[in-house]
Amino acid sequence: MMGVAGVCVFVAVTTAAAADPRAVVELFTSQGCSSCPPADKMLGELAKDPSLIALSLPIDYWDYLGWKDTLADSRFTARQKAYSAMRGDREVYTPQVVVNGVTHVLGSDRAGIEAAVARTRADQDVMKVPVTLAKDGGHLNVSVAASAGHDHGEIWICAISKSVPITIGRGENRGQEIVYHNVVRNVLKVGDWNGKAGSWSVPMENIAREGIDAAAVYVQDGNRDRPGPMLGAAYTPLN
C-alpha cells in the first residue's frame, strides 16, 4: 500500500567478528510493499560496509494485500511497534530504518541513514560497549566488556541469511524477483548484562536452520517490549 512520501504506512572454523561497528541499522520491510524494493537494495549496499551491522526484519501486516511475505515474523512487527511506543509517535511504516535503536528514517534514504548514524553516535551511551562474537566449533561465543556507565542491558543473537532471492507472485510487487540481504530468520535472548564484563556460549544448534550463514549479537538498553539505545554489537559470518 502506498503512503505519503512513497512509504507504506501502518497506523496502530573459528571466525571472529569485526570490532566496534558504528551502528546497527534495522530495516523493517515487506514483500507486499511497492515502496520497499529500493530500500531492500540499499540495505544490501549498507551490508557491505564492515562498520555497519545492517539487518532486514520483514514484517507481516501487509500480508492481507494479496501476498503473504515468505520471510515475515510477527516478532519483528512487535519490535517495530515497540520502537514507536518508546519514541512516543505513531510512525510505523515500511520501508522504515531504525538506527541504533534510537531514531527512524525512510529506509531508502541513504543520506538520511548516514546522518542518523552520526547523530546517534554523538550520544555517549550509544554503541560504546565493546562486544565480540566468534564461532568456535559448535558454539557461538559472546563477550561483552565492562562499562562503568551502564548497569543493565539485554543480549540477543540474530540468526541471519545473508542473501535470499524471492520471486513475488501476487500483490504490489507481482512478478519481481527481489534479493533480501542480512535477513534475520531467528532471534534468541542470550542473557542479561549488568555492566560487568561477561562471556556467554550459545550452541549452534539453538540458532541453526537451513540458509543461516551469519550471525549478529547486540546489547541493547531496556528490554524486548521497551527497546532502548544499542550499547554495542558484533557480526560474524558462519561459513
List pLDDT tens digits, range 47-100.
999 999 999 999 999 999 889 999 999 999 999 999 999 999 999 999 999 999
With contact defined as beta carbons under 8 Å apart, do 233 and 218 qualify?
yes
How is the chain split among helix, strand and coil, in percent rounded to 5?
20, 40, 40
With contact defined as beta carbons under 8 Å apart, do 168 and 180 qualify?
no
What's residue 228's pLDDT?
Answer: 96
With contact defined as beta carbons under 8 Å apart, do 33 and 54 qualify?
no
Give the Å distances, CA to CA, from 197 to 9, 135, 194, 200.
41, 19, 8, 11
Query: For residue 81, what is the DSSP state?
Result: H
Give the Å distances, CA to CA, from 180 to 53, 151, 161, 183, 214.
15, 36, 9, 6, 14
pLDDT in tens, 1-60: 434 344 555 444 334 444 589 999 999 999 999 999 999 999 999 999 999 999 999 999
Interval 200-224 mean pLDDT: 94
* pTM (two decimals): 0.92
**Closest to 38 in 3D by CA, of 133, 108, 136:** 108
Give the Å distances, CA to CA, from 97 to 110, 182, 209.
10, 14, 26
Strand segments (E) across 14-127: 15-16, 23-29, 52-58, 93-94, 96-99, 103-106
Q: Which residues lie below 8 Å from residue 89, measured CB to CB, with a gap of 6+?
A: none
Q: Which residues lie below 8 Å from residue 111, measured CB to CB, with a gap of 6+?
A: none
